[in-house]
């Protein structure tokens, strides 16, 4: 496949390797979480964010999960229906709605994390050395920094 104008053959090859490898890993993690725990990767990421940071506003969850505001509303509504999260009004500001994990949600995150982390280790970290790990962090840290605030 010829490289698009502006990308060298090498740049195109690297881009496709990053794109396809990342997408395959995310798709694999999504399929495994759905099969094993009945939740998507996006739902798992949202629940992990709440588990780590505590109750959050929908806008914070959307930003963390890299989904739209309408997407996070649908995602949270599904998690509420499943009994994994609940919404409540912030005591100090009666207008703000926050989302927190329920006991069932905390249990699910704990149960799902062991297998999820094992898959990440098996398909990524067991296949690269320490230098490659640092290089990935550096490269994708730069990519993330160049896009912070642009993705809505």
Each residue's pLDDT tens digit, 84-131: 999 998 777 767 789 999 999 999 999 999 999 999 999 999 999 999
Strand-pairing partners, residue 90, are none
Task: Provide mean pLDDT across the span 58-70.
Answer: 81
With beta carbons less than 8 A apart as the criterion, state whether 109 and 48 touch.
Answer: yes
Q: Which residues contact 37 (CB under 8 A, 6 or more apart)?
A: 44, 108, 111, 112
Q: Is the pLDDT of residue 152 over 90?
A: no
β-pairing, 97-101 vs 56-57, is: antiparallel
What are the pLDDT digits (tens) for 28-42?
999 999 999 999 999
Give the relative orientation of helices 58-65 and 41-53 as an angle to the nearest 10 degrees.
Answer: 120
Alpha-carbon distance of 56 to 50, in angstroms, equals: 7
Going from N- to C-terminal start, the domains of the chain cover 9-134
Percent of the chain with pLDDT over 90: 74
Per-residue confidence (pLDDT) for residue 75, from 0 to 100? 94
Band of pLDDT at residue 1, cut at 50, 70 and 90: low
Do 31 and 37 form a contact (C-beta atoms < 8 A)? no
Residue range 9-134 forms a domain whose CATH class is mainly alpha
In eight-state DSSP terms, residue 89 is E
Residue 3 confidence (pLDDT): 57
What local confidence, expressed as pLDDT, does residue 66 receive? 72
């Amino acid at each position: 496949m010829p490289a698009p104008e502006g990308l060298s053959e090498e740049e195109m090859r690297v881009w496709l390797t990053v794109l396809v490898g990342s997408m395959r890993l995310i798709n694999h993690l999504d399929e495994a979480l759905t099969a094993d725990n009945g939740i998507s990767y996006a739902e798992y990421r949202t629940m992990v964010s709440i588990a780590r940071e505590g109750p959050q506003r929908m806008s914070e969850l959307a930003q963390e999960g890299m989904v739209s505001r309408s997407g996070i509303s649908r995602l949270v509504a599904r998690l509420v229906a499943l009994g994994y999260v609940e919404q409540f009004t912030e005591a100090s500001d009666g207008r703000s709605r926050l989302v927190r994990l329920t006991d069932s949600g905390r249990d699910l995150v704990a149960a799902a994390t062991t297998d999820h982390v094992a898959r990440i280790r098996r398909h990524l970290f067991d296949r690269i050395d320490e230098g490659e790990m640092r290089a990935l962090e550096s490269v994708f840290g730069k990519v993330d920094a160049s896009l912070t605030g642009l993705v809505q």
